[in-house]
């Protein structure tokens, strides 16, 4: 019987090594794999490091303190504007996304998928298109060109889907039995929401906050289109500086400051909540 | 505390009827269990009593108050879920006191009540712990303390023990019964586990496919099942389908003669109205009511048949003897010393029995006559 | 019994003692919860988009002139006649960046999912590109400056600095750095859904690594790859920082920047909105395709 089967399948014969080879393929691939990861990581961080180095220089040697002091003095306004705009945007995003996420997850209504697509669409529209459409609409329909709120709402529009998604994920992961138990124990809807649901989706909410903060804080593209005259956020300032004055250490210092603040926010989040809650967002 | 009355409660989900016109009266302080297989609508019914689900039709009354459309928080109920559902971010004490704090009771009053409740469930001193630090059984006890703290008028249980292991289930079910007795609250309990239902209920509501099959005490539904479903779902049963061929006697001595295959059976009838000749019926016979006679043993039985042993299953305290009688298989449960008398597991025996319960056969597919309860899967309490 | 009925009433607020259906209230509540989000999207996305599409069919800034709009297809004609290079460059850059991300991202994602244990560290460092293409472009421009840190290396390779600095490759490189994390995310998700035992089984059956890759991994992760590629492509068509800071005149024709120049600087609304519409159409086609291919919707 066996004689009939064997010839149809080709077999390869590799000689078995006598001892464990020192430089075997597996170890080599492992080393190369890790090297590849590290190479990519270095490439990611390289621009930042370059700017960091650059920010420490000046005419006649290194003067990091002065550059960064310059950042505070000259660009301080821009930094403050960035923080302010980010904070306001975050507040609006939460106010808009939290109820919407709750309705999407807990209520039943037709066309949920369509609605979710409709609401997350801003993520897929190119920034320049959002920019041009808003600047024209602001100018001629809403008359919002000179108000800070025009910029805030533009930022909010572009980023609230990034708040919505982690919230939806967090709410889906929250067993409905907790809300039912609270209701049976006599809690009103608002009490249930405030005392049970919110604390338990806290990490998801923070993930959304982190994401939105990072994006809004560093946003320059749409800002270029819609910012009111006189209101320049820090990234926009960096952009303008490069375009008008070319590269300079102080500009680099500003860019570095922005990235450090962003990185600190990320670290803080990781420290507090770990990486679980970023599922479904772009950060994980 | 409260009586509970269901009047024609119905729940439809689109075209599916989950619960169909259920009527139920629960007395104050009574412990009633809704018992049935998964999907029979018992949980849906319970949730309608709680207000977590709105009925499509019918009404729910607590005492004389129509609560049908009241939200759960206004009904003053205690609902114990399948999972303990303790709020993970709150301590045990905060969990137990939750119902009181949402009603804005004063802190000292809440603390006192929490202590009282923890003592009631035997968890004094655990107040500061978090739910994650407690075992499954402890968590469920905290859940009990939590619902009792608000002094609800009705307690509702949705299979609270099904997530626990066997030993825990046994101890905890008696704790639940004990608590219910001590607090004298009306309790409605849902389970698919017959031994649980039998152990703690005052009355049992047997449900199937959204409808009530029978309501009664343990003895009533076990000894006098009114429908095929109850006869087969509760405990193990031999079901012999046949036709009524005659009626003898009157009153207590009345016997209905049923022809089932080659057998002729003399049965008591439990129907509300007597059967007529030619009716299709199923005669049910409990395995423990079948006496397996030794060779030469004299017997005084209304029914005496002979058959061949097909299988003997030694279960420890009992032995199941499966006997082929005229093409039908009957199961006899034998206990005591008799159970050791069938070492070879084959041969011919005589079976004697008196107590057959007759139930009107439901008009089913003509292609499937109701047969004996499948010997390979005994329905009933032994498996639970 | 009837005597006790009255005693229950004071326990309940009057309104609640009247039986009332709850689903109508629930529907109103749902609407109220969704209203802010829907309003925001409608007012600040959908209406403005409609607005600019309308405007794209008018001449110059005639849409807003008191004498009324002159409707015309001229803007689109102009795009075809004069701005096709811009469209082409935009697509070209996006395509190349996507390709780079695919080629380098797949191994990265694979190693990350299958082999690396210090994932948190990697994720921590992976956020840097996401702070913005601007900083990446800025940093790279600095690195590639003549006389800058990269000059010695480039000289050794025989490349003039200016060639490296203002060129297509550096723009594509910067663009792909920015979108790399998105690609890795998509591929990583798809890979983590592939049972590692499948690869082991293939190896036991005698498959060489390349064969396992092409015949097992690629087909199974195809959805994630496509979704990642389309996401990256969609992002890339809308950017202008990298082309501006790192590109030659050719790259600076990227549509996003042209929209700004024609629209905001030169107020030729008709033309710029037409370009915006073209960008929008490209983005929508890409998005539609990516959503069709993406794994598992978040909403059932």
- With tokens 């709850």, the residue in question is C22
CB-based contact C1 B64, cutoff 8 Å: yes
Return the top range by mean pLDDT from B110-119, B286-295, C17-26.
Answer: B110-119
Contacts of A125 in chain C (CB under 8 A): 45, 49, 238, 280, 283
B258 occurs within a structural domain: yes
**Residues B197 and B315 reside in one and the same domain:** no
CB-based contact A238 C134, cutoff 8 Å: yes
- Residues C90-100 have pLDDT tens digits of 899 999 999 99
Q: What is the pLDDT of residue A152?
A: 93
With a CB cutoff of 8 Å and minimum separation 6, the contacts of C41 are A118, A119, A121, A122, A157
**What integer best gives the mean pLDDT of chain A?**
83
User: C193 falls in which pLDDT band (50, 70, 90)?
Assistant: confident
Q: What is the pLDDT of residue C100?
A: 93
> Looking at the predicted structure, is the pLDDT value of residue C20 above 50?
no
**Mean local confidence (pLDDT), B5-21:** 92
C67 secondary structure, DSSP code: T
Lowest mean pLDDT across A65-74, C4-13, C26-35: C4-13
CB-based contact A185 B71, cutoff 8 Å: no
Q: What is the pLDDT of residue C83?
A: 85
CB-based contact A100 C138, cutoff 8 Å: no
Mutation test of the interface with chain B: which of A106, A178, A186, choosing the one with the most B Cβ atoms within 10 A?
A186
Residue that finishes a domain, picked among B223, B248, B264: B223
**Residues B163 and B292 reside in one and the same domain:** no
B321 secondary structure, DSSP code: E
Q: How far, in Å, CA of B371 to CA of C7, rounded?
A: 56
Return the top range by mean pLDDT from B145-149, B361-365, C68-72.
Answer: B145-149
Q: What is the pLDDT of residue B376?
A: 39
CB-based contact B69 C17, cutoff 8 Å: no
Lowest mean pLDDT across B212-221, B271-280, B301-310, B352-361: B271-280
Q: Which of C5, C12, C19 has the CB atom closest to B69's CB atom?
A: C19
**Residues B364 and B314 reside in one and the same domain:** no
User: A280 falls in which pLDDT band (50, 70, 90)?
Assistant: very low
Mutation test of the interface with chain B: which of C12, C18, C24, choosing the one with the most B Cβ atoms within 10 A?
C12
Q: Tell me the CATH number at B297.
A: 2.40.50.100
**Mean local confidence (pLDDT), B215-231:** 92
For residue A39, what is the nearest residue in chain C, using CA coordinates? C108
User: B203 falls in which pLDDT band (50, 70, 90)?
Assistant: very high
Residues 203-242 of A with CB under 8 A from B: none
**Mean local confidence (pLDDT), B154-180:** 91
B187 occurs within a structural domain: yes
Bridge partners (DSSP) listed for residue B280: B243
| B42 or C192: which leads in pLDDT | B42
Shortest alpha-carbon distance between residue B102 and chain A (Å): 5
User: A145 falls in which pLDDT band (50, 70, 90)?
Assistant: confident
Q: Tell me the CATH number at B267.
A: 2.40.50
Q: How far, in Å, CA of A256 to CA of A245, rounded?
A: 18
Q: How many helices (H) and strands (E) does chain C have?
A: 16, 0
Closest CA to B305 of B223, B378, B238: B238
CB-based contact C5 B71, cutoff 8 Å: no
Q: Domains plus CATH for chain A?
A: 51-278 (1.10.3720.10)
Question: Does residue C299 contact residue A112 with C-beta atoms inside 8 Å?
Answer: yes
Biggest alpha carbon–alpha carbon distance for chain B: 79
Q: Which two tokens stand for residue B204?
A: 């049992």
Contacts of B85 in chain A (CB under 8 A): 175, 177-178, 180-181
CB-based contact A169 C135, cutoff 8 Å: no
- Residues B233-258 have pLDDT tens digits of 999 999 888 888 888 777 777 788 88
Q: Is B67 helix (H, G, I), strand (E, B) or coil?
A: coil
Decide if C180 touches A, using CB distance below 8 A: yes
User: C156 falls in which pLDDT band (50, 70, 90)?
Assistant: confident
User: B23 falls in which pLDDT band (50, 70, 90)?
Assistant: very high
**What integer best gives the mean pLDDT of chain B?**
87
User: C11 falls in which pLDDT band (50, 70, 90)?
Assistant: very low
> Looking at the predicted structure, is the pLDDT value of residue B137 above 70?
yes
Closest CA to C229 of C111, C109, C99: C99
Mutation test of the interface with chain B: which of C14, C17, C29, choosing the one with the most B Cβ atoms within 10 A?
C17
**Residues B140 and B276 reside in one and the same domain:** no
User: A60 falls in which pLDDT band (50, 70, 90)?
Assistant: low
Q: What is the pLDDT of residue C294?
A: 58
Mutation test of the interface with chain A: which of B70, B79, B105, B150, choosing the one with the most A Cβ atoms within 10 A?
B79
> Looking at the predicted structure, is the pLDDT value of residue C231 above 50?
yes
**Mean local confidence (pLDDT), A83-106:** 93
Contacts of A40 in chain C (CB under 8 A): 104, 108, 180
> Strands B280-285, A57-58: parallel, antiparallel or unpaired by DSSP?
unpaired
Closest CA to B285 of B244, B253, B329, B254: B329
Q: What is the pLDDT of residue C85?
A: 85
Question: Does residue B30 contact residue B186 with C-beta atoms inside 8 Å?
Answer: yes
List the domain range (segments joined by +) for residue B128.
Answer: 4-223
Question: Does residue B207 contact residue B40 with C-beta atoms inside 8 Å?
Answer: yes
User: B46 falls in which pLDDT band (50, 70, 90)?
Assistant: very high
Residues 48-87 of B with CB under 8 A from C: 54, 63-66, 68-71, 74
- Residues A118-130 have pLDDT tens digits of 888 888 888 889 9
**Residues B279 and B292 reside in one and the same domain:** no
B383 occurs within a structural domain: no
Q: What is the pLDDT of residue C257?
A: 87
| B104 or B366: which leads in pLDDT | B104
Lowest mean pLDDT across A165-174, B107-116, B322-331, C68-77: C68-77
**Residues B46 and B122 reside in one and the same domain:** yes
Lowest mean pLDDT across A103-112, B318-327, C20-29: C20-29
**Residues B126 and B263 reside in one and the same domain:** no
Q: What is the pLDDT of residue B91?
A: 94
DSSP string over C174-221: HHHHHHHHHHHHHHHHHHHTS-HHHHHHHHHTT--HHHHIIIIIHHHH
Decide if C207 touches A, using CB distance below 8 A: no
> Looking at the predicted structure, is the pLDDT value of residue C16 above 50?
no
Q: Is B79 helix (H, G, I), strand (E, B) or coil?
A: strand
Q: Is A155 helix (H, G, I), strand (E, B) or coil?
A: helix
With a CB cutoff of 8 Å and minimum separation 6, the contacts of C12 are B74
Q: What is the pLDDT of residue A62?
A: 62
> Looking at the predicted structure, is the pLDDT value of residue C10 above 50?
no
User: A59 falls in which pLDDT band (50, 70, 90)?
Assistant: low
CB-based contact B85 A200, cutoff 8 Å: no
**Mean local confidence (pLDDT), C11-37:** 65
Q: How many structural domains are present in chain B?
A: 3
Q: How far, in Å, CA of C131 to CA of B302, rounded?
A: 91
User: A216 falls in which pLDDT band (50, 70, 90)?
Assistant: very high
Decide if A191 touches B, using CB distance below 8 A: yes
**Residues B265 and B146 reside in one and the same domain:** no
- Residues B51-100 have pLDDT tens digits of 999 999 999 999 989 999 899 989 999 999 999 999 999 999 999 999 99
CB-based contact C8 B71, cutoff 8 Å: no
Return the top range by mean pLDDT from A63-72, C46-55, C97-106, C219-228.
Answer: C97-106
Q: Domains plus CATH for chain C?
A: 83-293 (1.10.3720.10)
B336 occurs within a structural domain: yes
> What b/e readout covers A99-117, taking b as 16+ CB neighbours within 10 angstroms?
bbbbbbbeeeeeebeebbe
**Mean local confidence (pLDDT), C223-243:** 83
B95 occurs within a structural domain: yes
| C4 or B59: which leads in pLDDT | B59
> Looking at the predicted structure, is the pLDDT value of residue C12 above 50?
no
Contacts of B147 in chain A (CB under 8 A): 184-185
Kind and range of the H or E run holding B268: strand B263-269
**Residues B204 and B162 reside in one and the same domain:** yes
> Looking at the predicted structure, is the pLDDT value of residue A8 above 70?
no
> Looking at the predicted structure, is the pLDDT value of residue C7 above 60?
no
**Mean local confidence (pLDDT), C76-92:** 85
B382 occurs within a structural domain: no
> Looking at the predicted structure, is the pLDDT value of residue A167 above 70?
yes
> Looking at the predicted structure, is the pLDDT value of residue B133 above 90?
yes
**CA angle, residues C27, C30, C34, in degrees to nearest 5:** 145
Decide if A99 touches B, using CB distance below 8 A: no
Instruction: Quote the percentage of chain A above a pLDDT of 90.
Output: 26
With a CB cutoff of 8 Å and minimum separation 6, the contacts of A251 are A238, A241, A242, A245, C138
- With tokens 């006559």, the residue in question is B369
**Residues B294 and B338 reside in one and the same domain:** yes
**Residues B23 and B158 reside in one and the same domain:** yes
> Looking at the predicted structure, is the pLDDT value of residue A3 above 60?
no
> Looking at the predicted structure, is the pLDDT value of residue A6 above 90?
no
Instruction: Quote the percentage of chain B above a pLDDT of 90.
Output: 55
With a CB cutoff of 8 Å and minimum separation 6, the contacts of A107 are C26, C29, C30, C33
**Residues B127 and B30 reside in one and the same domain:** yes
Give backbone dihedrals phi and psi of A50, rounded to 5 degrees, phi first.
-60, -45
- Taking the CB of residue C121, how many other CB atoms lie within 10 A of it? 12
Q: What is the pLDDT of residue B368?
A: 44
**Mean local confidence (pLDDT), B193-213:** 94
- Residues A235-273 have pLDDT tens digits of 998 888 888 888 888 888 888 889 999 989 888 888 887
Q: Which of C5, C8, C16 has the CB atom closest to B74's CB atom?
A: C16
Q: B: neighbours with 3+ CB pairs under 8 Å?
A: A, C
For residue A275, what is the nearest residue in chain C, using CA coordinates? C120
| C189 or B70: which leads in pLDDT | B70
């Amino acid at each position: 019987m066996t004689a009939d089967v064997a010839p149809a399948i080709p077999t390869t014969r590799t000689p078995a090594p006598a001892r464990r080879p020192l430089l075997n393929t597996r170890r080599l691939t492992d080393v190369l794999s890790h090297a590849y990861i590290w190479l990519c990581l270095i490439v990611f961080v390289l621009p930042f490091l370059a700017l960091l180095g650059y920010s420490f220089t000046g005419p006649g040697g290194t003067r990091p303190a002065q550059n960064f002091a310059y950042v505070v003095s000259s660009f301080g306004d821009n930094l403050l504007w960035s923080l302010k705009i980010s904070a306001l945007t975050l507040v609006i995003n939460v106010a808009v996304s939290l109820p919407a996420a709750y309705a999407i997850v807990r209520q039943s209504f037709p066309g949920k998928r369509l609605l979710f697509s409709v609401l997350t669409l801003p993520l897929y529209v190119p920034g320049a298109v959002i920019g041009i459409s808003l600047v024209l609409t602001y100018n001629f329909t809403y008359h919002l060109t000179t108000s800070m709120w025009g910029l805030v709402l533009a930022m909010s529009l572009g980023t609230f889907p990034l708040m919505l998604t982690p919230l939806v994920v967090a709410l889906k992961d929250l067993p409905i039995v907790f809300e039912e138990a609270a209701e049976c124990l006599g809690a009103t809807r608002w009490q249930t929401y405030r005392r049970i649901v919110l604390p338990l989706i806290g990490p998801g909410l923070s993930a959304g906050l982190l994401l939105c903060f990072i994006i809004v804080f560093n946003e320059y593209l749409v800002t270029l289109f819609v910012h009111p005259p006189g209101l320049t956020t820090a990234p926009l300032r960096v952009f303008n500086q490069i375009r008008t004055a070319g590269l300079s250490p102080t500009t680099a210092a500003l860019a570095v400051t922005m990235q450090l603040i962003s990185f600190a926010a990320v670290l803080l989040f990781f420290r507090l909540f770990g990486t679980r809650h970023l599922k479904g967002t772009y950060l994980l | 505390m409260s009586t509970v009355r269901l009047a024609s409660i119905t729940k439809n989900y689109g075209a599916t009827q989950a619960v169909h016109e259920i009527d139920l009266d629960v007395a104050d302080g009574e412990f009633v269990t809704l018992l049935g297989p998964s999907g029979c609508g018992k949980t849906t019914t319970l949730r309608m009593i709680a207000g977590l689900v709105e009925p499509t039709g019918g009404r729910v009354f607590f005492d004389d108050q129509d609560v049908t459309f009241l939200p759960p928080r206004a009904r003053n109920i205690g609902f114990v879920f399948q999972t303990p559902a303790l709020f993970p971010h709150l301590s045990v004490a905060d969990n137990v006191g939750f119902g009181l704090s949402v009603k804005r009771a004063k802190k000292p009053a809440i603390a006192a009540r929490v202590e009282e409740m923890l003592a009631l469930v035997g968890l004094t001193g655990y107040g500061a712990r978090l739910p994650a630090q407690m075992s499954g059984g402890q968590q469920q006890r905290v859940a009990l303390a939590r619902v009792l703290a608000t002094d609800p008028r009705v307690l509702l249980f949705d299979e609270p023990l099904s997530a626990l292991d066997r030993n825990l289930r046994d101890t905890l079910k008696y704790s639940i019964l004990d608590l219910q007795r001590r607090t004298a609250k009306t309790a409605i309990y849902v389970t698919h586990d017959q031994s649980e239902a039998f152990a703690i209920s005052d009355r049992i509501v047997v449900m199937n496919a959204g409808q009530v099959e029978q309501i009664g005490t343990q003895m009533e539904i076990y000894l006098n099942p009114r429908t095929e479903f109850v006869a087969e779902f509760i405990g193990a049963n031999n079901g012999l389908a046949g036709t009524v061929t005659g009626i003898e006697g009157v009153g207590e001595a009345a016997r209905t003669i049923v022809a089932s295959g080659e057998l002729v059976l003399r049965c008591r009838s439990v129907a509300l109205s007597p059967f007529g000749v030619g009716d299709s019926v199923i005669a049910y016979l409990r395995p423990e009511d079948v006496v397996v006679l030794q060779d030469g043993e004299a017997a005084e039985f209304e029914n005496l048949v002979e058959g061949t042993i097909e299988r003997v299953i030694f279960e420890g305290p009992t032995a199941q003897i499966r006997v082929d009688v005229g093409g039908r298989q009957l199961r006899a449960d034998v206990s005591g010393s008799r159970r050791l008398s069938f070492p070879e597991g084959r041969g011919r025996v005589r079976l004697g029995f008196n107590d057959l319960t007759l139930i009107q056969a439901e008009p089913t597919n003509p292609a499937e006559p109701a047969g004996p309860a499948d010997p390979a899967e005994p329905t009933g309490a032994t498996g639970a | 019994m009837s005597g006790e009925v009255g005693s229950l009433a004071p326990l309940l607020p009057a309104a609640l003692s009247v039986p009332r259906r709850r689903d109508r209230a629930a529907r109103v509540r749902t609407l109220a919860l969704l209203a802010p989000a829907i309003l925001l999207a409608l007012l600040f996305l959908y209406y403005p988009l409609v607005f600019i599409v309308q405007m794209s069919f008018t001449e110059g800034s005639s849409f807003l002139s008191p004498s009324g709009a002159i409707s015309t297809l001229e803007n689109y004609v102009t795009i075809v006649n004069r701005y096709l290079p811009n469209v082409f460059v935009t697509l070209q850059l996006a395509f190349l960046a996507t390709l780079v991300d695919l080629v380098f991202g797949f191994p990265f994602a694979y190693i990350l999912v299958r082999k690396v244990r210090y994932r948190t560290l990697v994720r921590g460092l992976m956020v840097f590109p996401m702070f913005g293409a601007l900083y990446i472009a800025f940093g790279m421009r600095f690195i590639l400056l003549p006389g800058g840190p990269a000059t010695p290396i480039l000289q050794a390779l025989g490349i003039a600095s200016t060639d490296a600095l203002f060129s297509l490759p550096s723009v594509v490189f910067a663009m792909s750095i920015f979108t790399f994390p998105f690609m890795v995310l998509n591929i990583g998700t798809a890979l983590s859904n592939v049972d590692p035992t499948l690869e082991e089984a293939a190896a036991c059956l005698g498959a060489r690594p390349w064969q396992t890759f092409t015949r097992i991994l690629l087909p199974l992760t195809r959805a994630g790859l496509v979704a990642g590629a389309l996401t990256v492509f969609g992002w890339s068509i809308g950017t202008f920082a990298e082309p501006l800071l790192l590109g030659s005149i050719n790259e600076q024709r990227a549509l996003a920047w042209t929209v700004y120049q024609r629209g905001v600087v030169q107020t030729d609304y008709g033309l710029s909105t037409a370009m915006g519409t073209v960008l929008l159409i490209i983005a929508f086609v890409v998005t539609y395709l990516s959503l069709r291919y993406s794994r598992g919707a978040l909403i059932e």
